[in-house]
Chains A and B, each alone.
Chain A
């Protein structure tokens, strides 16, 4: 009896410690940001969010993240498809390389883009001669976001393609459907949930990206200053309340995206 009681107390303490750790580390800080941004009441919050530089940075972030996501959906679906369906030289190496952006520090990713496309590089000079600039302008931000979010769509589409019943596709061919028609009517609907959830994760990640972007964006307020860099600037200039206000706009958006991904995935699991 004594031993049992002691072990019960032990495991009670253990459980509480784990759950407490979880709440203190994850939940408390998030609540803290929401509390801080309203700590001075509603008007300062509104002032912080409606500051032209603030909302311009948020809008810029959303716009560029959308562009990066669209490119990612197209390229990611193609790469996912090729890596699953075709057998060719180097397939396995390419498949491993997909995860590189997850393994690489984002600051290193940013530096790579800076070196490859920046002033003095072959690509950068060629682009300049053609009359447009990459680094320290919007294209570089999109490229940085693209690099960081590259694996999401691919990794979401691949399992669906692998599971897919090939006989449906073959039936479509046998019935005389063209390749394009088969893709649109048979294959695409199957992988659509993967594309959508991959795209949403990529979008959320692109919204949040900091390391890769801060090095290549030039960070000109109102022009190439994205939201996370704006928040960083506000923290540095000792305005935590303003930083928190913009943060919760970004956070709420990301939470909504994450929540929709969960809903989509649990529906798929039930179906």
Chain B
């Protein structure tokens, strides 16, 4: 049986994962090195990559801070009732169940130019939808559960004893956090960050709806890939996809590394 299952597994991986990955790498070189450079050096490509980079940084920072804090509260806080904690806990997962397109639609419905809030912000000279803030909110929504879900089990596992001991001995809460809690959740947080970066970089549906995909303005790398494919500019799409795929593979390696470190603790 073993002789059958292992080759079969190899076939599944080759067909489903490895062949597509190789295709991206070869496809980008269809016109040689020059074609690749030309596609990436287009102003809209550079701008799109810059937008993706910016959103990824901002969202990862915000999501990490709030995610870790919320995980701490959901596990440790005694000012939240048990029922309340359970309720909040199940709400955390909701973005996983929401299609990215619907996530984008939600933000357009709440903050779009025709809504009360949207009109208010627009009067104040602050555009939300079809601009950067909306794209950041959309990405925050989509990536929200990743950090909380990575940190919560670690906190549950280590228990509150050490922290309680530290605060009984008179340590301030910040001090307790940095010297007692942080060392044990560190690798969980790093794993969460890698997942968040991957998701930010790859987010497509929500950003497409919220951004309006305006070239050189609100276009991100993934929405530019989409537009290039729609315009039958396959080599350009491929070149950008190659950059994204290369970063993804790098992130995958980081994930493996963080996972291993996480298990050591």
Contacts and interface: CB of A to CB of B under 8 A. Distances in A.
Interface of A: 11, 14-15, 18-19, 21-22, 25-30, 32-33, 36, 75, 78-79, 81-83, 86, 88, 90, 94, 96-97, 99-109, 111-116, 146-147, 150, 179, 201, 204, 207-211, 214-215, 227-229, 231-232, 235, 240, 243-244, 247, 250-251, 254-255, 257-259, 262
B70 interface: yes
Nearest to B13: A94
Given A18-B69, A88-B6, A105-B202, A251 B102 contact: yes
A83 B110 CA distance: 46
Interface of B: 1-2, 5-6, 8-10, 12-13, 16-21, 23-24, 27, 66, 69-70, 73, 77, 79, 88, 90-110, 112, 137, 140-141, 144, 173, 195, 198, 201-205, 208-209, 221-223, 225-226, 229, 234, 237-238, 241, 244-245, 248-249, 251-253, 255-256
A210 B202 contact: no
15 contacts: A15-B73, A29-B103, A36-B109, A100-B21, A103-B248, A103-B252, A105-B201, A106-B222, A107-B204, A108-B24, A108-B248, A147-B17, A147-B20, A254-B99, A258-B94
Contact of A29 (B69, B110, B229): B110
Given A22-B88, A210-B99, A232-B101, A82 B6 contact: yes
A111 B234 CA distance: 9
Nearest to A211: B204
Given A22-B70, A103-B249, A235 B209 contact: yes
B6 A103 contact: no
A257 to B, nearest CB: 7
Contacts of B100: 208, 210-211, 228
Contact of A104 (B91, B94, B245): B245
Q: Is the interface of A mostly helix, strand, loop or mixed?
A: helix
A88 B222 CA distance: 37
Given A240-B105, A244-B109, A259-B90, A112 B20 contact: yes
B222 A257 contact: no
B200 to A, nearest CB: 10
Nearest to A14: B69
Contact of B9 (A14, A83, A207, A257): A83
Contacts of A115: 20, 23-24, 27, 234, 238
A85 to B, nearest CB: 9
Contact of A79 (B9, B95, B97): B9
B87 to A, nearest CB: 10
B94 A30 contact: yes
B18 A78 contact: no
A26 B24 contact: no
Contacts of B13: 79, 94, 97
A62 to B, nearest CB: 13
A99 B12 contact: no
